[in-house]
């Protein structure tokens, strides 16, 4: 995530802190200073927030380490003022595994709360149900209450929060994944609207979380619907069968000629069937400016080309292309290059597939 600073690496997972998190610490410090007017209050106020976010990190580790048991790695954990975010490679496809991963986060908070409760009991510190307040009482007592709150709050069935993920997975046991996500996302957005209204009346912080849920639900739902369209197709369905390639010995003039003659903008480069590099349109234009049209293709900065088997599912390929959407893919059938594929071809296939789906749906109605 942009504007994040790498803080520490634990159990092979990088922990980042978003710059707005420091703003939160600053605001908390200032508000304690204005209320109490002494440094001790500021230190204990800020210290409490730091302890709270340490618990949030442990919550995210609950998700990450459970996912690791199912062979899914976590790229990073980022701390934001509204909480933590673990960037898992993906969620498990098996709904039962997804339920375990989603529940592991809140479970960590309940365990922390239980341990604090036991400790406070041993120390004979009074825990009264009447005095339930996050602003009163000892440091550890408040930390216990806040952990219970985090655990319960995250279990609200507001997809993509943890409880919403449990709901989606539970639905996915009975229906297909895309429909389950659509239902869970609608429930999540409905709850987000309610939360937004409550937030406007009582606590602006809730409005932030509501916005986060609303957009999170819509983004994940779109990605899931896309996956379901692509899920039925292989690379062969989306690839471009007619294409031109260049030899490293060709001149830039040849590349210009081919660009003007057709719709192809990027060209694979190599000898015969050994297409190992790709010349991107931007690099061609820059090469023309710097070296002129008589320069050779091999003198330009060429990118390594990705290859895909003609039978590879598009969903798998899309996962590989993530983070590098401009990538051109060389499609190979038994060692022979038979086609090209880029994000544009994929989008074209999605447009066509959606139109066909809409037509079929209209016929059913
Ligand atoms: Zn969580």
Cβ contacts of 191 within 8 Å, gap of 6 or more: 156, 157, 158, 213
The β-bridge relationship of strands 306-309 and 329-333 is parallel
pLDDT the model gives residue 132: 53
- Please report the sign of the dihedral spanned by the C-alpha atoms of residue 321, residue 323, residue 325, residue 327: negative
Rounded Cα gap, residues 55 and 109, in angstroms: 7
d(CA 271, ligand 1 centre) in Å = 51
At 203 the three-state DSSP class reads coil
Q: Which two tokens stand for residue 360?
A: 């079929």
pLDDT for res 135: 57
Tell me the β-bridge partners of 4: 18
Q: DSSP assignment, residue 339?
A: E
Contact 268, 305 (CB under 8 A): yes
Q: Are 100 and 87 in contact (CB under 8 A)?
A: no
Gap from CA of 64 to ligand 1 centroid (Å): 10
Q: Cβ-count burial of 362 within 10 angstroms (0-12 exposed, 13-18 middle, 19+ buried)?
A: exposed
Q: How far is the CA of 317 from the centre of ligand 1 (A)?
A: 28
pLDDT at residue 113, rounded to an integer: 94
Q: Which residues of the chain have pLDDT under 70?
A: 1, 125-137, 272-273, 322-326, 357-358, 360-365
Q: Between the CA atoms of 167, 170, 176 and 178, what dihedral angle is there, to the nearest 10 degrees?
A: 20
C-alpha 62 – ligand 1 centre gap (Å): 8
DSSP state of 361: H
Using a 10 angstrom Cβ sphere, with 0-12 exposed, 13-18 middle and 19 or more buried, the burial of residue 336 is exposed
* Ligand 1 midpoint to CA 153 (Å): 10
- Cα 116 to averaged position of ligand 1 atoms, centre (Å): 20
Rounded distance, CA 77 to CA 252, Å? 45
3-class secondary structure, 349? helix
Residue burial 148-178, b: 16+ Cβ < 10 Å; e: rest: bebbebbbbbbbbbbbbbbbbbbbbeeeebb
Tens of pLDDT, residues 126-162: 666 555 555 556 888 888 988 999 999 999 888 888 9
pLDDT at 129 (0 to 100) = 58
- With tokens 């996050």, the residue in question is 134
Per-position DSSP letters for 275-338, written without gaps between them: EEEEE-HHHHHHHHHHH-TTSBGGGS--EEPEEEETTSBHHHHHHHHTT-TT--EEEEETTEEE
HSE-CB at 109 with a 13 A cutoff on CA atoms is 27
Q: Which strand ranges, in their side-by-side order, compose the sheet holding 329-333?
A: 306-309, 329-333, 336-341
- Rounded to whole angstroms, how far apart are CA atoms 164 and 161? 5
Residue 325: name the closest of 344, 308, 338 by CA: 344
Neighbour count for residue 141 (Cβ, 10 Å): 21
Residue 84 pairs with which residues in a beta bridge? 79
How far does the centroid of ligand 1 lie from the alpha carbon of residue 106, in Å? 6
Q: How far is the CA of 152 from the centre of ligand 1 (A)?
A: 11
**Residue 90, pLDDT score:** 79
Domains of the chain: 1-155 (no CATH), 158-231 (no CATH), 235-354 (3.10.580.10)
Quote the ligand 1 centre to 148 CA distance (angstroms). 13
Polymer length of the chain: 365
């Amino acid at each position: 995530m942009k504007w994040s600073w790498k803080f520490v690496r634990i159990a092979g997972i990088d922990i980042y802190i978003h710059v707005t998190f420091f703003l939160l610490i600053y605001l908390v410090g200032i508000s304690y200073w204005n209320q109490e007017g002494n440094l001790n209050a500021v230190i204990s106020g800020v210290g409490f927030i730091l302890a709270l976010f340490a618990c949030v990190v442990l919550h995210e580790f609950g998700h990450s380490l459970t996912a690791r048991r199912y062979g899914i790695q976590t790229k990073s954990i980022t701390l934001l003022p509204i909480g933590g975010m673990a960037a898992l490679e993906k969620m498990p496809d098996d709904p039962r595994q997804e339920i375990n991963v989603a529940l592991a986060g809140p479970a960590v908070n309940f365990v922390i709360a239980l341990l604090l409760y036991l400790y406070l009991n041993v120390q004979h510190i009074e825990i009264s149900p009447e005095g339930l307040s996050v602003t009163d009482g000892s440091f550890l007592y408040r930390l216990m209450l806040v952990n219970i709150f985090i655990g319960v709050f995250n279990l609200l069935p507001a997809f993509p929060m943890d409880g919403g993920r449990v709901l989606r997975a539970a639905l996915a046991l009975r229906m297909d994944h895309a429909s389950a996500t659509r239902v869970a996302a609608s429930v999540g957005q409905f709850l987000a609207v309610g939360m937004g209204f409550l937030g406007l009346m009582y606590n602006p912080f809730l409005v932030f979380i509501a916005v986060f849920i609303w957009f999170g639900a819509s983004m994940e739902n779109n990605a899931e619907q896309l996956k379901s369209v692509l899920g039925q197709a292989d690379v062969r369905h989306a690839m471009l069968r007619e294409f031109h390639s260049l030899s490293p010995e060709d001149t830039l003039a040849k590349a210009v000629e081919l660009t003007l003659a057709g719709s192809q903008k990027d060209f694979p480069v190599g000898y015969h069937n050994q297409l190992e590099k790709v010349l991107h349109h931007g690099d061609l234009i820059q090469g023309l400016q710097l070296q002129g049209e008589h320069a050779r293709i091999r003198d330009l900065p060429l990118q390594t080309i990705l290859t895909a088997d003609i039978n590879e599912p598009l969903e798998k390929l899309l996962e590989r292309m993530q983070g590098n959407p401009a990538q051109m893919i060389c499609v190979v059938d038994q060692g022979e290059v038979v086609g090209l594929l880029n994000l544009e071809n994929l989008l074209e296939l999605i447009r066509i597939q959606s139109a066909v789906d809409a037509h079929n749906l209209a016929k059913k109605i």
